[in-house]
Amino acid sequence: MKSINRQLAVATLFTCAIAGTATAVIYHPVDFSQYHNARIQQRFATWNHVPAGHIKLGGVPFFIPPGTNNEWNLGPGGNLNGVTSVLDIKVHAFGTRTVYTLINSNWGTATGGHMLIEFFGTQGGYASADLIGNRDIRDWNLFPAFTTRINGTTTTQVHTIPNGMDGNPDVIDMQRFDLPVEFDSQTLDRIRITDRRQVFVHSGIVSGITVFGQSDLVLCPADFNEDYCVDDADFVLFSDQYTAWDCHADDMPNGCVADLNKDGVVDDSDFILFAGWYGVMVCPS
């Protein structure tokens, strides 16, 4: 049984303010673990040595959670043929210059319209890219009947297993998306990835996302209700999940978003993190 003083350390209410800007730039991996449904180290037998945790690929920091599901992958089976799946990922990143992704495909085709990535700003900023096989993305196994090439500029190979499935090289590729200048002065609110699956043609795999921008760029994980404030409404949501405690419990509401340190439970350490966000407004608009 847990025991804790459930009173917030910060007793006063506050008004949401906008964080300032800075000239330095920094990388921030994006947490989309709520969508993870596969484990990159189990994609094939030779993948068990793929690095996890806080790592650099192609010089860019990513976070691939160790010991658990850590990628989004519809998988190669035929029962999902024709399914369109959407990742709508909350980012809250102010002043984003560039977004890096780790995306490959099962199979792959050089035609468009199968995988779209979109970027939404809080003040109308928008960018999108249709990810084309043999240019932006390719089959992770480089199977000759599917897609085996990338452009080598905006998409680069960042990890290789020389003798992978069927004796082909297995690869992890990284995409770079430079956002329009208007994102310098607004928050990248969301990244949306739409995947239109077709068996033996295309199925997308997303293994990592990192944003690069101003040094006060902040992810705002304690803003559970997405109103750009960490306030009493978020505390109510935190309290419900703190009571449930175990992220895998049947009564855990709202996908266990209050597990701020991602250790599988909502406990005192998460309360300390939440109190810090509650006391200082860091969700820029």
Domains of the chain: 1-19+221-285 (no CATH), 25-214 (2.60.120)
The distance of Cα 21 from the centroid of its chain, to the nearest Å, equals 23
Largest CA distance in the chain: 63
Write down how long the chain is. Answer: 285
**Rounded to a whole number, what is the distance in angstroms from the first to the last CA of the chain?**
40
Residue 18 and residue 285 in contact, taking contact as beta carbons nearer than 8 Å: yes
Whole-number Å distance between alpha carbons of 123 and 143: 43
Residue type, 196: R
Residue 87 and residue 32 in contact, taking contact as beta carbons nearer than 8 Å: yes
Q: What's the confidence (pLDDT) of residue 65?
A: 92
Residue 179 and residue 97 in contact, taking contact as beta carbons nearer than 8 Å: yes
Q: What's the confidence (pLDDT) of residue 1?
A: 33
pLDDT range class, residue 270, cuts 50, 70, 90: confident
Q: What is the CA radius of gyration of the chain?
A: 20
In terms of pLDDT, which residue wins out, 18 or 141?
Answer: 141
Q: What's the confidence (pLDDT) of residue 174?
A: 98
Q: Which residues, including other chains, have CB under 8 Å from residue 11's CB and lie 6 or more apart? A: none
Q: What is the mean pLDDT of residues 237-247?
A: 91
Secondary element (H or E) of residue 88: strand 84-94
The share of the chain scoring above pLDDT 90, in percent, equals 57
pLDDT range class, residue 252, cuts 50, 70, 90: confident
Per-position b or e across 73-93, b if 16+ CB within 10 A of its CB: bbeeeeeeeeeeeebebbbbb
Q: What's the confidence (pLDDT) of residue 76?
A: 60
Q: What is the mean pLDDT of residues 94-113?
A: 94
Q: Which residues, including other chains, have CB under 8 Å from residue 238's CB and lie 6 or more apart? A: 222, 224, 258, 266, 270, 271, 274
Whole-number Å distance between alpha carbons of 45 and 105: 18
CB-based contacts of 268-277 (< 8 A; 24+ apart in sequence):
268/2, 268/4, 270/238, 270/242, 271/4, 271/238, 271/242, 273/222, 274/222, 274/230, 274/234, 274/235, 274/238, 275/8, 275/9, 275/10, 277/220, 277/221, 277/222, 277/223, 277/230
